[in-house]
Chain A
Amino acid sequence: MPTDAVTQTGSPPPTAAPRVALRHLLGLEDLSGDQITGILDLAAQMKAVNARRIKKLPTLRGVTVLTLFVEPSTRTRMSFELAAKRLSADVMSFSAATSSLSKGETLIDTAKNLEAMGPDLIVIRHGAAGAPRLLTQHVGCGVVSGGDGFHEHPTQGLLDAFTLREKLGSLAGRKIAIVGDILHSRVARSNIWGLGKLGADVHVAGPATMLPAGIEDMGCTAHARVEPALEGADAVMMLRVQRERMDGGFFPSAHEFHRFFGLDEERLKLCKPGAPVLHPGPMNRGVEIAPEVADGPQSVILEQVENGVAVRMAVLYLVAATHGLDGRVD
């Protein structure tokens, strides 16, 4: 492996990681444990690149990545764009605050118009579940989901698995607690699939109003109180709870949510000593997570953000490579 990325031209990824064929990335449900491991291994090498003085690989030179964000997001989008740039891809961005739900141009028309400009990969974030899949039926290029409705957020699931693997080593048999608004969380769903495929013992917990029907069929144990999920857990992942859910009658007040379902220092003691605390952000301090925990020694929240770039580099690389776009020098 060359020590300086600048000397590397048109060559495969940093080292010979097991190559994972990834035509699109729509969800972790579709991947095997081996594929996920392959992606995480490659992400580890990408993370090493990010630690260099010159944080750039020429691998996707001449490849154009379009980020199509039809739902407000800054951090996921910036993470993807940074990942693309670190691989030397060109990036163009399209964002709309609204979708075809509001009777403007349809998603398909938007995508076809943008496709006519010749992107090689599309990263889509959309408020409607299934929108990335719909896109694959109408465009020719590779599609990576940046989150769709309550369905999946596969790169978040991968970066969480990556972070946990760094902290815990193998995830086989590890008890991981996912706590908060499971019902409205695509992060929870991707993590249930992803961690489950890596052999973890996944427990989800939240008020019963936020535990979706049949969640256990996805391969996890559900609890209507947080304590049994935290008991002896190797790690805990808190989910963002949106204040607007109060209006839907899912919980009576932020105060009450914190009191019964939030992660404070007392509750954290139920987990194994030193268990890492994750949160996909953005956090509501004092609602789902106490500030002392968010900023405490067990918090790995900022490492998640850093790892997100590496994981997205791996994903963009693999999807591009599957389409024969890697190492393009012309």
Chain B
Amino acid sequence: MLLTAAPTNLPALLIAGARIYDPARGLSDPIDVRVRQGHIAEIGADLPDDGCEVVAAVGQVLCAGFVDLLACAREPGDEHEEDLCSLSDAAAAGGYVAVVVGPDTRPSNDDHAVTELILRRAREYGRCEVLPQGALSHRLQGQQLAPIGEMAEAGAVCFGDADRPVTSARLMRRALEYARSFHRPIFSHPMDPSLGGVMHEGAWSTRLGLRGSPAAAEAIIVARDLMLAQLARAQLHFIRLTTRRSVELVREARRHGVAVTASVTPWHLTYTAEALRTYDPNLKFSQPLRDEADRLALLEGLRDGTIDAVCSDHAPENVADKCVEFDAAEPGAIGLQTVWPVLMDRVRAAELTLEQALHALVEAPRRVLSLPSASVSVGRAASLALLDLDATWRLDAATSRSRSRNTVLWGRELRGRAVLTLLRGRIVHRVLAD
């Protein structure tokens, strides 16, 4: 039986026997880490407990907490699905210490007042650092540039129109150029809506009788945005790449010096369009599940660094929006608590190394956002995740911290779990074995 403990304030902990993941040095041998007064106080072999609570961590990995590049908080506007508190709890329970929240709220985050509201609410709760993504355009309508400067000043870390396509190349160009003045990346959701459908176009959409969206619908916009980023000399991030062709385009653009980064979701590394044969709306995504060749290309891209990060794409939806015909279902799934076990499945399947999985969750997203590197060293603030690689558990009403339960993994056995998350020394998540 596992329980999640209530947080206590700035405890002194001795995390004993975990391997440390540091982006510069990789995985260490087992070692002890002392956390005191919110900071890493000491790292060494066989440290005495010195009055600290000892956390036995043999076989586990300690790293800087994960940073997520895209989650939907649903606050303001749809707090029955999620709010910034439940989102923070779900993030902490997944090993995250910081989460980028999308602008597709009600009202949308296209104004500094909304940015400030989100930051204030998140800080009051204080269980996870919340990093607002500002809208690229007014009301996410793809017409008029949003006040990017003021939102950046208020604390927005990046800009994009969530999963609304920016159909105008001119607007995308201006956004890339303008955001450069404020040193912020543009997050592009590459999709040409005129080629849209409810799943990947191919043999499976034909068989299931669902409208397909071809891989080209994504790759066309990837190619466009790469050319615009080069033209604008701006920083571009593709959120949730899904196709082989997109990976090739990004790889080539990198060679030409375009400042582009990219992320992928655990879903697209795991499932293909075939998984929709049961019409499960929890596997409907705004960037659809593709073919096996695409899945393998995404993994290859992640291994060779063309794709930098893995993002949760956490999208809480009311049951009522999912318990309908596939065509009518809202896309998206919750994911913050299952990213780690799902990626560990890829590690167990020898499709990724443990270091590659950790890099994609720990260091790469920090680089996308130009945050300080995720090193684990004495003197650094203790914003850490302690990860069990094999612990089995289920995401259910007892363990889930989200307000929504739209995931195909609900109730299924998962392997791998964040067992302890610290935010500047505070315990924000802990699994206790009894």
Interface residues of A (CB under 8 A from B): 29, 99-101, 106-108, 126-131, 133-134, 148-152, 186, 189, 212-215, 217-218
Question: Do A130 and B201 form a contact, CB below 8 Å, given A29-B207, A213-B206, A214-B206?
Answer: no
Number of A-B contacts (CB under 8 A): 80
Min Cβ gap B178→A in Å is: 35
Question: Do A129 and B203 form a contact, CB below 8 Å, given A101-B325, A134-B325?
Answer: no
Interface presence of B305 (CB below 8 A): no
Min Cβ gap A111→B in Å is: 11
How many angstroms between the C-alpha atoms of A151 and B277 in the bound complex? 11
In the complex the two chains form, is A152's CB within 8 Å of B214's CB? Answer: no
In the complex the two chains form, is A133's CB within 8 Å of B279's CB? Answer: yes
Question: Do A108 and B206 form a contact, CB below 8 Å, given A133-B279, A134-B279, A213-B212?
Answer: no
A-B contact pairs, 29 of them (CB 8 A): A100-B328, A106-B324, A107-B324, A108-B323, A108-B324, A128-B327, A128-B328, A129-B279, A129-B325, A130-B208, A130-B209, A130-B279, A130-B325, A130-B326, A134-B326, A148-B209, A149-B210, A152-B209, A189-B209, A212-B205, A212-B212, A213-B206, A213-B214, A214-B202, A214-B203, A214-B204, A214-B207, A218-B206, A218-B207
Interface presence of B168 (CB below 8 A): no
In the complex the two chains form, is A215's CB within 8 Å of B325's CB? Answer: no
Question: Do A151 and B202 form a contact, CB below 8 Å, given A100-B328, A106-B320, A130-B326?
Answer: no
Interface presence of B278 (CB below 8 A): yes
In the complex the two chains form, is B214's CB within 8 Å of A128's CB? Answer: no
Min Cβ gap A66→B in Å is: 18
Q: Quick one: which of B181-218 are within 8 Å of A by CB? A: 201-212, 214
Q: Which residues of A contact B206 (CB under 8 A)?
A: 189, 212-215, 217-218
Q: Which residues of A contact B328 (CB under 8 A)?
A: 99-101, 128
Q: Which residues of B contact A133 (CB under 8 A)?
A: 278-279
Q: Which residues of B contact A189 (CB under 8 A)?
A: 206-207, 209
Most buried by B among A108, A127, A148, A212: A212
Q: Which residues of A contact B214 (CB under 8 A)?
A: 213
A103's closest neighbor in chain B, by CB?
Answer: B328
In the complex the two chains form, is B207's CB within 8 Å of A100's CB? Answer: no
Q: Which residues of A contact B325 (CB under 8 A)?
A: 99-101, 107, 126, 128-131, 134
Min Cβ gap A305→B in Å is: 24
Q: Which residues of A contact B212 (CB under 8 A)?
A: 212-213
Interface size on B, residues (CB 8 A): 22
In the complex the two chains form, is A128's CB within 8 Å of B203's CB? Answer: no
Q: Which residues of B contact A148 (CB under 8 A)?
A: 209
In the complex the two chains form, is B207's CB within 8 Å of A101's CB? Answer: no
Q: Which residues of B contact A127 (CB under 8 A)?
A: 327
How many angstroms between the C-alpha atoms of A107 and B204 in the bound complex? 24
In the complex the two chains form, is A130's CB within 8 Å of B323's CB? Answer: no
How many angstroms between the C-alpha atoms of A130 and B207 in the bound complex? 11
Q: Which residues of B contact A213 (CB under 8 A)?
A: 201-203, 205-206, 212, 214
Interface residues of B (CB under 8 A from A): 201-212, 214, 278-279, 320, 323-328
A100's closest neighbor in chain B, by CB?
Answer: B324
Top 10 A-B pairs, shortest CB-CB distance: A214-B203, A151-B209, A130-B279, A128-B325, A150-B209, A129-B209, A212-B206, A217-B203, A128-B327, A101-B328
In the complex the two chains form, is A129's CB within 8 Å of B327's CB? Answer: yes
How many angstroms between the C-alpha atoms of A106 and B324 in the bound complex? 7
Min Cβ gap B237→A in Å is: 30
Q: Which residues of A contact B202 (CB under 8 A)?
A: 213-214
How many angstroms between the C-alpha atoms of A265 and B202 in the bound complex? 35
B206's closest neighbor in chain A, by CB?
Answer: A212
In the complex the two chains form, is B279's CB within 8 Å of A186's CB? Answer: no
How many angstroms between the C-alpha atoms of A128 and B211 in the bound complex? 10
Q: Which residues of B contact A129 (CB under 8 A)?
A: 208-210, 279, 325-327
How many angstroms between the C-alpha atoms of A79 and B329 in the bound complex? 31
Q: Which residues of A contact B207 (CB under 8 A)?
A: 29, 189, 214, 217-218
A101's closest neighbor in chain B, by CB?
Answer: B328
Min Cβ gap B194→A in Å is: 10
How many angstroms between the C-alpha atoms of A212 and B199 in the bound complex? 13
In the complex the two chains form, is B320's CB within 8 Å of A130's CB? Answer: no
Q: Which residues of B contact A214 (CB under 8 A)?
A: 202-204, 206-207
Min Cβ gap B398→A in Å is: 24
B278's closest neighbor in chain A, by CB?
Answer: A133
Q: Which residues of A contact B211 (CB under 8 A)?
A: 150
How many angstroms between the C-alpha atoms of A119 and B202 in the bound complex? 38
In the complex the two chains form, is A186's CB within 8 Å of B209's CB? Answer: yes
A99-B325, A100-B328 given; 20 more Cβ-contact pairs under 8 Å: A29-B207, A101-B327, A106-B323, A106-B324, A108-B323, A126-B325, A129-B327, A131-B325, A150-B209, A150-B210, A150-B211, A152-B209, A212-B205, A212-B206, A213-B214, A214-B203, A214-B207, A217-B203, A218-B203, A218-B206
Q: Which residues of A contact B210 (CB under 8 A)?
A: 129-130, 149-151
Question: Do A128 and B326 form a contact, CB below 8 Å, given A133-B278, A189-B209, A212-B206?
Answer: yes
Question: Do A151 and B203 form a contact, CB below 8 Å, given A100-B325, A101-B328, A129-B326?
Answer: no
How many angstroms between the C-alpha atoms of A134 and B207 in the bound complex? 17
B210's closest neighbor in chain A, by CB?
Answer: A129
Q: Which residues of B contact A101 (CB under 8 A)?
A: 325, 327-328
Min Cβ gap A19→B in Å is: 28
Min Cβ gap B219→A in Å is: 15
Most buried by B among A129, A150, A151: A129
B291's closest neighbor in chain A, by CB?
Answer: A214
A135's closest neighbor in chain B, by CB?
Answer: B325
A131's closest neighbor in chain B, by CB?
Answer: B325
How many angstroms between the C-alpha atoms of A186 and B211 in the bound complex? 13
Most buried by B among A133, A134, A218: A134
A133's closest neighbor in chain B, by CB?
Answer: B279
Q: Which residues of B contact A134 (CB under 8 A)?
A: 279, 324-326
How many angstroms between the C-alpha atoms of A213 and B200 in the bound complex? 10
Min Cβ gap A152→B in Å is: 7
Q: Which residues of A contact B320 (CB under 8 A)?
A: 106
B212's closest neighbor in chain A, by CB?
Answer: A213
A153's closest neighbor in chain B, by CB?
Answer: B209
How many angstroms between the C-alpha atoms of A148 and B209 in the bound complex? 8
Q: Which residues of B contact A126 (CB under 8 A)?
A: 325
How many angstroms between the C-alpha atoms of A126 and B209 in the bound complex? 12
Min Cβ gap B331→A in Å is: 15
Min Cβ gap B346→A in Å is: 26
Q: Which residues of B contact A218 (CB under 8 A)?
A: 203, 206-207
How many angstroms between the C-alpha atoms of A107 and B279 in the bound complex? 15
How many angstroms between the C-alpha atoms of A149 and B211 in the bound complex? 10
How many angstroms between the C-alpha atoms of A152 and B206 in the bound complex? 11
